[in-house]
Structure 1
Amino acid sequence: MNVVRGAEDGLVLPGTRTGREPERSLRPGPRRLTPEQVASRQRERLLDGVARTVAANGYAGARISDICRAAGVTRPVFYELFSGKEDAVIAAYLGGTRIVVRAMEQAYDAGGGAAAWPTAVRAGLRVLLSLLAQNPAFAVMVVEIECVGPAGRRARAELLASFRRFFADAPPGPAGVDRSELVDTVVGAVHAAVHRAVDEGRSGDLPGLLDSLVHVVLAPFVQVDFAGEIGRQAVSAHQLTRE
């Protein structure tokens, strides 16, 4: 089982496991599990089946029968838990992205939070990229959620809005620029870079984006220091050429 360890220890994304692992099967006969526990286990298996089926076939090509087969769950049970494919895909996406954000928050706080915002941002982004790289089936949902329609766009908007939490400790930013618009623009740029890599089949390369994304996030809010450093470098270069 491919599970990312570290700040996100114990957090498993949809699609990480298969629905047919022996330890997750529900055998016939007397059970010690309550009906609620049985339903919860079946739901988890179906969410894994959703992520794996969507990753293999795309949202449009994912059939409920394929999802049930991947999960090892019957079609009647599927409809006891979800109203249809759209409902199941949204549940898998929202459940997985909330896990990702929770893991990022843990890493962000461990990285220093408000006391060391640039370091904390880097820690959070590292977890985001690592989780998606190590869980490629779920990473595909970052792209495929757009095929779901209005409900998919609302789910994506919920995810992007949750990233605003990481800018609460950021410096004020440039004067005269609406802070909320700036934050949403930066978040959109990070999402676009991740989306492009996944869409091109490069989920495994996501950790390599870390330095670029850290720069994208930090630059608008530390521009005074950045500009000062550029200025010092320019002066030094000018002096060197004169000498």
Structure 2
Amino acid sequence: MDRKHLRGADVVLLPGARTGRDPARSIKPGPRRLPAGVVAATQRDRLLDGLVRTVAERGYQHATISDICRAAGVTRPVFYELFNGKEDAFLAAHRHGTGVVIRRMAAAFAAESDWCRGIWKALGAMLQLLAGTPAFATMAVIEIEAVGPAGRRERAQLLTRFRSFFAEVPQLPGGVGSKEMVDAVVGGVYSAIYRRIDSGRTEQLLELLPLLSLFCLSPFLGPAEAAERLGVRDWPKRVADW
């Protein structure tokens, strides 16, 4: 990953961080009405927030478009002006939110000159974002399975983007394939995050940071060197200081 192009972290909130009916985003009628493009963008953002919160609460299968519109304070005709249906809106929310996560991770990674510390910081940025927006974490990690083939494709594309953080891994001895090892590590990280969210402990995700960091580095450096490079022998203090 080219660190020179990863310096600008955005401050965009994840979908679901706000209520769809947030008064600050109300659209007032009248002669001073906002431009059509601004109105559409605001309504779209509200629908994404409404969808994330509704899906997190009711599950993808049981969330209806009427439920989503009600949560967003937006009418059904407007919904269909912006999205083809529930699946289309779900995938839009997933792509937007995971894009925010990846960009925040990339900026944290790029701020470190050392690959090991970059992995630590990137993982910390991801865990912090998900822990701070539990509705999005549930929607994006758990409910994506209910979407079917389109959801599985989105998840596969997301995991491919995660692999880019391992472009600098050392070559493994004995002809062991680094690519296969990276695939296994990325899958393991996703699985650990999934289990924590599925068990209702999303707000405790940051507790996984030392363990996941070691898990990412140990296959390539060995456990002892990975721990030394990360300085994680005082795990509780490290997590508290993050």
Which category describes the TM-score, using the shorter chain as reference length? Answer: 0.7 to 0.9
Larger radius of gyration: 1
Match of 1:139 in 2: 137
TM-score (ref. length: structure 1): 0.86
How many angstroms apart in 1 are the aligned matches of 2:223 and 2:213? 17
Match of 1:150 in 2: 149
8 Å CA contact 1:121, 1:214 repeated in 2: yes
Runs of 4+ in 1 over 3 A off after TM superposition: 224-227
Residue range with higher mean Cα deviation, 9-18 or 27-36? 27-36
Match of 1:188 in 2: 187
How many angstroms apart in 2 are the aligned matches of 1:148 and 1:108? 31
Percent sequence identity is 56
Match of 2:237 in 1: none
Uncovered stretches (5+) of structure 1, i.e. residues with no partner: 1-6, 230-243
Match of 1:23 in 2: 24
Deviation at 1:29, TM superposition (A): 1.3
Match of 2:173 in 1: 174
How many angstroms apart in 2 are the aligned matches of 1:74 and 1:32? 18
Letter in 2 for 1:218: L
8 Å CA contact 1:174, 1:223 repeated in 2: no
How many angstroms apart in 2 are the aligned matches of 1:224 and 1:53? 42
Match of 2:94 in 1: 93
How many angstroms apart in 2 are the aligned matches of 1:223 and 1:91? 40
1:197 aligns with 2:162: no
**Equivalent residues, number:** 219
Indicate how the Cα distance of structure 1 residues 66 and 174 shifts in structure 2: closer, same or farther if over 3 A, else same: farther
How many angstroms apart in 1 are the aligned matches of 2:131 and 2:224? 32
8 Å CA contact 1:174, 1:220 repeated in 2: no
Q: Deviations over 1:69-122 (max 9, x none)?
A: 11110000001111111111111011100100000000001122xxx1111100
Uncovered stretches (5+) of structure 2, i.e. residues with no partner: 1-7, 229-242
Deviation at 1:145, TM superposition (A): 0.4
Match of 1:55 in 2: 56
Q: Deviations over 1:111-164 (max 9, x none)?
A: 22xxx1111100000011000000001000211001100000001011100011
How many angstroms apart in 1 are the aligned matches of 2:219 and 2:174? 11
How many angstroms apart in 1 are the aligned matches of 2:44 and 2:186? 31
Match of 1:76 in 2: 77
Deviation at 1:30, TM superposition (A): 2.2
Deviation at 1:9, TM superposition (A): 5.5
TM-score (ref. length: structure 2): 0.86
Deviation at 1:32, TM superposition (A): 4.5
Pairing 1:107-126 to 2, within 5 Å after superposition: 107-112=108-113, 116-126=114-124
Deviation at 1:170, TM superposition (A): 1.8
Letter in 1 for 2:86: K
